[in-house]
Structures are given as C-alpha cells and as structure tokens.
A and B are shown apart, each in its own frame.
Chain A
Amino acid sequence: MEHEIARRTSDSGADAAEELEAEPSPADDRDHEREARLTRRVHVVLGLVIAALGAWLLYKSRTELEFRGANNEPGPGYLPVLLTICLIGLGLALSAVWLWGPQARSGEAPTLSLSVRGIGRALLVWLALAVCAFLIEPLGFLVAGEVLVLLVIVVIERIRSIPLIITLVLLPPAMYFLFDTLLEVQLPGGTLWY
C-alpha cells in the first residue's frame, strides 16, 4: 500500500490529476452511500410488493380455480397455486437478502441508477405511447401516429430542425403505405370517421 502511495505521488502532474479524478472524493462517497441506501430500500420494498402480489394471486387461485379435478387429477389452479407460493417465497427472500445480507448492509452490492429526471423523461415517452394506443381505435393509425410524433417533436424533444420534423411527420403515412397498401395488413382507419 505504501509503495502504491509512493508511486502515485511520483507521477507526472497530468497523471496525478487523472488519479485524483479516479479516486472517490468524500462527496462521491456520500453519493454512493445515499444510492446504496436507496437501492437497499427499493429492493426491500420490491420484495414485499412481489410477496404481496403473490399472496393476492394465491388467494385468487385458491378461491376461483379448482386445485384438483373430478378424478383428483391436477386442476386449472394446480400450477398457479404452486407458482404463486414460489413467488411469495422469492419476494420475501429478496427482502431478507437486502435487509440482512452482508453485501447489502456493507454497501458493497451494486446500486441502481434511479435519477428522477431520467425516469420522468422515460415516463413522458411511455405516456405518449399510451395516448397513441388509446387514440388508435377512435381516430385510426394515421392520426394516432401523428399525435405520437407531434408529442415527441413538441413536448419531449422540442425539435427545431426542419428536415427532422419533416422526416418524423412522414413516418406514420410511410408506415401506413408499407403495411396497409403494400402488404395488405389492414390498419385501423378510426371508428370516428368510418
């Protein structure tokens, strides 16, 4: 270790700067600790959610589906019951590992990347897709596709480049031509118009 420190101090200025960059600062350590705590909490909650979901599905499987058939053969609830029991066990195991596991407690376990800004942007795109899917039936593929593209241009990416805007606006009609006209895969025309 001493040798390592000695080697580092004898490095050139640029190299030393790089080394300093590579070495975690106290602020980095705090960030890592915060991320590790958050990751641990998320995993504990995730395990409990999986176990709770498993328990609810187990309840539904037991009450709505027969575990055994008329001749004592495996019924429609046979596999769901076994699977949901396993899910409960796995969910609880996940929580336990992240609550009491040595790696999670010492902060050595890999952390999750959970930036609020990034997640917000992803959810915005997902919402645009959901709006498009919701509008396909009443407005048809062409209009719903244009709504998705416009949401991307105006709200999500705020694109100013005219060639990019033209390319994006032409996407839905190009796909409509390819699938509906050339391949005869009938795309929804919109119940509002037809």
Chain B
Amino acid sequence: MNALEGLLHGLESAITPTNLLWLIVGCLLGTLVGILPGLGPPATIAILLPLATGFNPATGLIMMAGIYYGAKYGGSTTSILLNIPGESSSVVTCIDGYEMAKQGRAGKALGIAAIGSFVAGTLGVIGLTFLAPLAADVAVNFGPPEYSALMVFALLLVIMLAGDSMLKGFIAMFIGLFLSTIGTDLFSGAQRFTGDQIELAGGIEFIALSVGIFAVGEVLINIEDKTEKQLFKVPSKMRELLPSRQDIKKSTPAMLQGGIVGFLIGILPGAGSTVASFVSYIIAKKMSKTPEEFGKGSIEGVAAPEAANNSETGGAMVPLLTMGIPGSGTGAVLLGALVLYGLNPGPLLFHEHADVVWPIIASMYLGNIALLVMNLPMVPFFAKLLNTPYKVLYPAILLISVVGVYSVNFSIFDVGMLVVFGLLGYVMRKLDIPPAPLVLAFVLGPIAENAIRQSLLLSNNSPIIYLQRPISATLIGLAVVLLVVLAFGRGRKVREQVVEIDA
C-alpha cells in the first residue's frame, strides 16, 4: 500500500460519525484542560488517557490526536493572554503574543495562532505521510556529535532573543545552563548542587522555573503601578478581535517556514518543539520586512513559533511510528498508549497494523480541521477574559500558577521554587536581563551536556570528532558563522549608533 492509498484508506476509516464525535470531544477537552497552566500536552493526554482507552484502537487514538492538538492550542492561549507558558515550546510565543495582548490585540494573536497551527499542522502531517521513510533514514544518522553540534547552534540562536544587550543575553543563557546541571548526574550518579534536598535529585522542575520567571515575574512588574483600570485594552468590535486579511497575508511566509522548519526539527528526538519554535522565530525575524517589531508585538512573531510548534507534531510522529523513539514527553505518553493497545511501534508497524496507523495519520488532518473550526469562534471569548480588572486577574494568575506547579509533581517544594523563580523573574526584568535565553538554555542544557559528554566518551576526549562527521561539521561551521555575524553585526550597530550620536 503506498502513502496515498494508505491515507485514503485511513480517511475512509476515520470519517465515521463516532470517530468524528470523539475527535471533537477530544479537541474540546484538550483545549479546556490545556488552557490551565502547568498542564501542557503530555499532562493533558495523561489525564485524559483513561477516557480514550475505553474505545477501540482507531477511535481511541483519533480522540487522543484531538486532545493533543487541543492541548497545544490551549497552551498557546495562556502564553498569549497571561504570559504563562504551559510547556517549553510556548516560551517563544509569550514574547510577542503577550506583547500583542498588552496592546489590545490578544484576539488577533489567538486567531493567527489557530490559523498558523492549522496551516503548519497540515504541512507537518503531509510531511509525515509522504516523507516518513526518507526522514527516518536521516534521523538515524543523528548521533551524539550531531546532537552536540545542533545544541551548540541552538544555544547560539538563543542569544538572538537577547534584546539590546548581548552580554546580558549570554549571562541569562549561562545561568539557565548552570541551573540545568542541578540534580543527579546521569553518567556518574553524583548529586550536583542539590544541597541534600531529595526534591532536587531530579533537577529543578521546568514548570516551576518557567511559570515563576514568566508569569509571577510579569505580575510583579505589572502591579508596580497601582491602577484602577484593567491592564489590557480589549476592542469591543468583533472584527477587531480576529486577524484581518492583511494580518494573515503578512504572517503567511512565517507560517509556511515555521511549518517546514517545525517538521524537519520535529523528526529529531529531543527538545524538538522548543528548538523548532525558536529557530523558526529567528528565521521569521530575519526574513521579515519589519524585524524591528519583533519582541514588541509582531504578529509574525506569534505565527512562526506556533506554526513550528504544531508541524513538529507531524515530524515527531516519524521516529515514534517508524522507530518507536518518542521525541518528547507527549511522544512518550503516546508511545505508552500505542503499547496499551497492543501496537509495537517500529519499522513493521506500517505493514502489520496499517489498519490503525493510517487512520491515526488521517485523524491528524481531521484534528487540525476540528481545531480551527472549534477554536477560531472561541477566540473573542478568550480575548474578552482580559476585560477583567487586573486586581482580580493577578491574584487569579498567582493562584493558578501555584495550582499548576503543584499539580505536576504534587510537591510543595516546587511551589517554593515557583516563589523563588518569581522573584528572579522580577529582578531580571528590573535589571533588563532577558528571561527567554535563561528558560530556553535550561531546556536545552541537559540535552547538550549529554550529547557533548557522549561524544567525548566516543572519541576518547578528542573534540575532532565534531569535524570528522559531515552533519556535525556543517552545524559547527554554521555556529561559527552565526557567532561572527552576532559579534560583528552588533559591533557595527553599536558603531553606527556612536557615529549618529557624534554627528
């Protein structure tokens, strides 16, 4: 059975009234649960898994696809409205999404996130349908040196989110990398900087760190000025609550590149969607006719990471279905669900269980459509939430943050970490230190460290290994070029400013 035949067969099996009903229910539940901070797609799927396992494999997995897409969209809703990233991949969406919300353009941001998710999610699934075997071959060639080089490249890209001061961006990045080393060293079992706290043995909880730095830090900045008014303006006209034709036209290149980048990076197991979202953000900024708007509420700055975040799903399904390698937390939960249904992901899955695999892929198409049809009408409702006076909204944000962080591990210690990182987030903002490089470096740190140490183990501590393999050599070369561009580009900008001042 070729890809097209398989897909048509899958669509035929998936489009039954029962499957469609559960797909819509899954999408709705996923959005509603995913909107709660701390409950990203993996947690949402895990919570709702018992509901889906009551059905036959095809229906259950179709419902889970709906939950997954819904949860992803729910995560971007809190990022845009409240600056609370539900998971690491939503961090980049916060940058421009929240700025848009502050400018009274939350509806447009949410709308473009839904449209971008649909366009790129569809691209990702098309990629999965036709390129899965080829992409799987490339992914197999990615060993520790290639991952090390990719992470070095990705960490240098993080600096591009640094804002005006590259020095402060590097400081934030190194603090994030250092925080990621806290916990048990996976190679030796040694405890690093845990202070004999058993709760730190597994490392600092990402949700506590990200919600503290982004949400609590932002609340503390916002309440500095006592104001009787609501913090954000929300337009009253329905037309102004949704993206205009011009907004969609402006965001289309960002959506398409986000879709392609997201799929390609999603194939690589690891922090796929996080890397995908900010690589596509950087590319969108470089390609944009108005790069100066990025970081200040650019609609392309929402479209690109959201698109990448969604098409990554299609990419992440490639190693999951063809090799049984889950690329992320969500992938691990989905793998568990597949095993629960008696399916063993691997090269033979497409041959032995074509009756289940193709309906799953088909359901991803349908999930994308259901997401757009259901969530676009809900955008004005979500945006209107910002009409709430801020003195009511901020205690709610603080309490939701506490519940969200607590619900991840049922740990009071994590709530304490939330408080600590909330203060850190506030101090960083006051001192004009960008928080995004810290949070992204924290996510990429463990992957980078593992890959670097594995590579050095393989090569008897010789760094030449990075140059001996074509993919890693190319990536290292790109990283060097990027570093030169960063250094000299900034230097030139500073020099230009000095010349202007002198003149």
Measured CB to CB, the residues of A under 8 A from B are 42-43, 46, 50, 57, 60, 65-66, 69, 72-80, 83-84, 86-87, 90-91, 93-94, 97, 102-103, 106, 108, 110, 112-115, 118-119, 121-123, 125-126, 129-130, 132-133, 136-137, 141, 145, 148-149, 152, 156-157, 159, 164, 167-168, 171-172, 175, 179, 183, 185-188
Contact = CB atoms under 8 A, between A and B. Distances in A.
Residue of A57, A79, A103, A187 contacting most chain B CB atoms (<10 Å): A79
Given A84-B178, A90-B170, A121 B224 contact: yes
Contacts of B453: 73-74, 78-79
B500 to A, nearest CB: 10
B168 interface: yes
B219 A125 contact: yes
Contact of B432 (A87, A112, A172, A179): A112
Contacts, number: 166
Interface in B120-164: 164
13 contacts: A42-B431, A46-B431, A66-B190, A74-B452, A80-B192, A86-B174, A90-B167, A112-B430, A133-B402, A136-B402, A137-B412, A149-B399, A185-B407
B256 to A, nearest CB: 36
Contact of A171 (B171, B395, B431): B395
Contacts of B177: 79, 83
A187 B403 CA distance: 8
A65 B189 CA distance: 11
Contact of A133 (B188, B193, B396, B418): B418
B456 interface: yes
Given A90-B167, A141-B402, A171-B396, 16 more contacts: A42-B431, A57-B178, A76-B185, A83-B178, A97-B167, A108-B501, A110-B164, A122-B223, A126-B216, A126-B422, A129-B216, A152-B394, A156-B223, A167-B392, A172-B399, A187-B406
Contact of B224 (A79, A87, A108, A122): A122
B188 A76 contact: yes
Given A74-B452, A83-B177, A145 B399 contact: yes
A179 B403 contact: yes
A99 to B, nearest CB: 13
Interface in B208-226: 216, 219-221, 223-226
